[in-house]
Amino acid sequence: MNMLKIVAVPMHPEGRKFVTIFAIIAVLLALVWEPLFWLGLGATVWCYYFFRDPARTVPQRAGLVMSPADGVVSLISEVAPPPELGLGDTPVYRVSVFMNVFNCHVNRSPMDGKVTQIAYHKGKFVNASLDKASEHNERNGLAIEGAEGHRIGVVQIAGLVARRIVCFVKIGDALKTGERFGLIRFGSRLDVYLPEGIQPAVSVGTTAVAGETILADLRADQTPVQSVNI
């Protein structure tokens, strides 16, 4: 872990109180036994690193669906979108990006569009890498409709460690591709439901970067592009 890179990256405001708590605990540990301070300091640095919010270079070409999260593509399957998002019941491709505790957890909009639905559900906290997490875990879903009528779903899913999903937007808001719309604390996953007939441009095991990795191409007259990290 390059310490200079960590310090140079800005932290999302959501992380300030957590870093402060970790730092206070580190000071208290120093009063108990000095070696414990270094453990606390390491935990504080990790917390800052977890809430980092780096700038991203977002492709400007229309029709691309970008990854909403940093992580690894853990699942690709054809399933019906969550009914609460109003995207119909026809099975479509779902691309799941799993974030571990070392990934950046700021979530970004996969495409330009208007938020037409937001639905939060309480749930369990099973391992977010499992397929059943989409149905059983705590989650917050958004439906986004683009200018050309394409609609996608993006669902924030809590994991084993995550206990708090944060969403910054509301129904009716307009989002730009790569714009920050939320985050999940301490390990989780995001599911993207593509429009009917659209094929994914990634495969399981692909390392994704939020706002930079292409998940799919919505242009009907184009062959889906291969995933790239810019």
| Catalytic residue list contains 227 | no
What is the reported pTM? 0.82
pLDDT for 10 equals 83
pLDDT for 46 equals 78
DSSP output for 149-203: S-EEEEEEEE-SS---EEE---TT-EE-TT-EEEEESSSEEEEEEPPTTPPBS--
Pairing status of strand 165-167 against strand 139-145: unpaired
Inter-CA distances, 94 with 81, 156, 157, Å: 8, 13, 13
How many angstroms separate the CA atoms of 75 and 213, rounded?
16
pLDDT for 98 equals 93
Residue of 96, 109, 134, 188 marked catalytic? 188
User: Mean pLDDT, consecutive 10-residue segments, the chain of 230 residues?
Assistant: 57 82 90 89 84 89 95 96 95 95 91 97 64 73 94 89 81 96 84 96 97 91 45
pLDDT for 227 equals 44
The alpha carbon of 30 is separated from its chain's Cα centroid by a whole number of angstroms, namely: 36
Q: CA end-to-end span of the chain, whole Å?
A: 21
pLDDT for 44 equals 87
| CB burial readout 187-196, b (16+ within 10 A) else e | bbbbbbbbbe
